[in-house]
Structure 1
Amino acid sequence: MVQKFAKLYTKLDNHHHHRHTQTNHDQFHHQSEALSASLQAFRSQVSKFIGQLALDLKPGSELLSLSWIEKCFGLLSFTNKAFAKLLVDIDYPMSIWEVDSVEGYLSYSLCLLELFNSISSSLSHVGQARLSLSHGLTLLENSPSSATRHLKPVQPGCFSTKFGKEFFIQGDKARFFSGKEWVVHEAVKEMKKIGFWVCGILLFSLCSDGKPYMELKKMAAGFDGSSVLPLDSKISEMMEKFPSLKEVKELNDVVAHLLVASDEVKHDVAKELITKLQVLEKLSDVIKAEVDDLFSKVMAQRTELVDCLRLRKQS
């Protein structure tokens, strides 16, 4: 009797254990599917935005324009918002991230801040050239010789950065991620590629130099597997053919025309130059404001994360 009871108990216990194990397995499987779906939704949102950027490139365009560059920079803010939504969807705020994920994000965001500084410096360089041209126009009528000293084409100016070193050190560490940490890791990896791609295009356009873009592409380990890849191929072709911004080239063409214009047409050419300068100023100011705004947001996010990390290390 005791043996029969023991066998029955063991059978019931095994059945309960099997059901419990099966339930845990089902829950894990369901959670994994939900996490994958959230990550896919994040990627789809970003891909849709990039698809619109591709459509906004006018067919037959040979030069990148500042108006398109502004839309392109908007991808960074959009991606940040999509990432924030992803964290809410998977219920995984930054405050409870694992240390490795926090440090990885801090490393990336530091690079981003330094890139924003480089972009701001490049925009300032364009702004100074624009002011010099505007001053030259005021001298044109009464002092043509003085005006000529200021009426010079906008020359690209790039500013070297050393943003790569820390990023590579962080990137060298082999890590294994699972669950929500894996989702964050994959999403941040995509954000890095997008961030470096966008900043690379901006710096290329403002500097008329492919080096920043190529360096950032290297830092992102290429764009294979990223949603920016198809558009990047198209942009790369444009860069090779015409390494200049549409607005800057048009402005410089008018400056060149003004310097050789006869007295009969000089006034009209000067008016055209004023219009071109206004267009350049307006678009540059818009981009600079967006860069400054995103700089502040990334900085605030970094500060919050650093505080979380500090508190965690103290406890």
Structure 2
Amino acid sequence: MAAELTEVTATKCFEGWQKIFSHKSDELKCAMRFGIYLPPQSEKEKVPVLYWLSGLTCTEENFVTKAGAQRYAADHGVAIVTPDTSPRGCNIKGEDDSWDFGTGAGFYLDATQDDWKTNYRMYSYITKEVSYKEQCKLPEVIQANFPVLANKQSILGHSMGGHGALVCFLRNPGKYASVSAFAPICNPSECPWGQKAFSGYLGADRDQWKFQRYDACHLMQDYDGPKVDILIDQGKADNFLTAGQLLPDNLTVVCAKKDVPLKLRMQDGYDHSYYFIASFIGDHIAHHAKYLKAS
């Protein structure tokens, strides 16, 4: 294992191993942590990998401890990587002033504004391919250090992370075998969370946001890549849905115009919490396994 990684915890789980590591990210200019579940199959062969992107205020540990995903990952023989949601401890003025901007709220984009552009580069940290020269980006770290298949990866996430998963998938046609999301922020340019993040990280000129390509609805309008099969679960009792933060109907309209299959499952009684995620994570891992195991 490369010296750049430090193992923080290792716990046996469903005959595999749930581990957390830290490493120095040259992309984000700070130390970062990520979780990885290695299923029992990985002891004998390389396995496909799922990238999970968490939501606002989360760290690399929330999904690991609350979603119950390891059972299904072991059944299907897939690894799951869980990065943190933002850089940490960068000493940027204002990064800890609110829960929905700055620390824990990186929004999976590359900031362009002066205070943020050096460290807040979560899009590049999550997506960049292997160079084997510097282990500064997450795929480089994962593929260089763990028994995973570089050409068999998929992505999913929750809320802000659902936004991130959709954006990463749509901006990189063919990179990911599949995509899914729980209660994603589907149209951030049109909701309070997204507008706050985009204004702070990308600048106040709203006309430029579309060209900076971090809104799934805008990206879907211009999508011209391989076949897309999107699975989204949304709780009907989600307070953030009724508050206009998530806007799944906007994405549904765009997908219909583009004739892109979108399976939006509105789940009665479910809210925005990890209880909701735990209830349907098995379906999502099975959805991805179908594509990750295809020849």
Q: Name the TM-score class by shorter chain.
A: under 0.3
- Which of 1 and 2 has higher RCO (CA within 8 Å, sep 6+)? 1
**TM-score, structure 1 length as denominator?**
0.22
Larger Rg: 1
